[in-house]
Amino acid sequence: MNRGSVKTHMKIALGQLNMAWEDKELSLQKVRKLTAQAAAGEADMIVFPEMSLTGFSMDIDRIGEDPDQPESVERMGRIAGEYHIAIGFGWAALPEAGQTKGTNRFTVLDAEGKVLGEYSKLHPFRYGGEADIYQGGDRLVTVPFMGHTIGLFVCYDLRFPEIFELVSEQADVMLVIADWPASRADHWLTLLKARAIENQSYMAGVNCTGSLNGLDYSGDSTVFDPLGNLLGTLHGQEGIVICEIGHDVQVLRQKFQMKQDRRNEFYIQEYQK
């Protein structure tokens, strides 16, 4: 296919990594391999799991990067430019000036390696000790891409439906990057499907696989359409799954006007009691 031609669908690849624990060099080799596969499959974007090059590490002194000049963003940008494909990935930022905690970030680059958008995980995973090391972000983020508006989320955010509803006011596609353990894989798949249905949005979740720091991961990187139909999934092994994302969200929302039936003022009133 001529990449300069007009495309009616966006092709998104989920890069299911078996990362090398806290080893950015080896993990980057895996990223390059999967990116090459995605480009060969004519994907427009490939997305990798949370903390893509290190795994879900709390050793911020070891893996953290300068928030203003992150090396991983630069290196991922070179790969994006080399393969002419947009890339979404996660990394850990060291504390900003005046802060004591870092941030867990999700960055999206265009096919030239330029930053389209960057999101800091809103809900650090207290149960796993993340809240002791990383602070929550303070804004919701969407990025424009190929006629779509894409909402960005990280792992534990998936358990908080309110932010997905808010983002869906602008977005028709939601991306969740995660390091979600196999012991809670049913939660992962159930919540992804629920978010797709309740927000009438495409929902793509990319997870890692393998064993990292004593935890097992099953992958299950998955895409659901706005009706909750399964478009593609990958269980267990490292690899990619490529799915097409259509421009049919607004048609569905106009036909089945669920959002118009929401009672936001009432919900806010109840929250404030």
Catalytic site positions: 50, 121, 155
β-partners of residue 215 are 212
Q: Are 69 and 273 in contact (CB under 8 A)?
A: no
Say which residues have a Cβ less than 8 Å from residue 104's Cβ, sequence separation at least 6: 50, 51, 90, 92, 93, 120, 121, 124, 130, 134, 154
Helices (H), the chain: 24-40, 60-63, 71-83, 161-167, 185-199, 249-255, 264-271
Say which residues have a Cβ less than 8 Å from residue 192's Cβ, sequence separation at least 6: 158, 176, 203, 205, 222, 224
Q: What are phi and psi of 185, to 5 degrees?
A: -60, -35
Strand duo 148-154 + 173-177: pairing: parallel
- In Å, how far are 56, 151, 223, 251, 268 from 31, measured between CA atoms? 16, 22, 20, 36, 43
Residue 139 is encoded by which pair of tokens? 């804004």
Q: Are 143 and 172 in contact (CB under 8 A)?
A: no
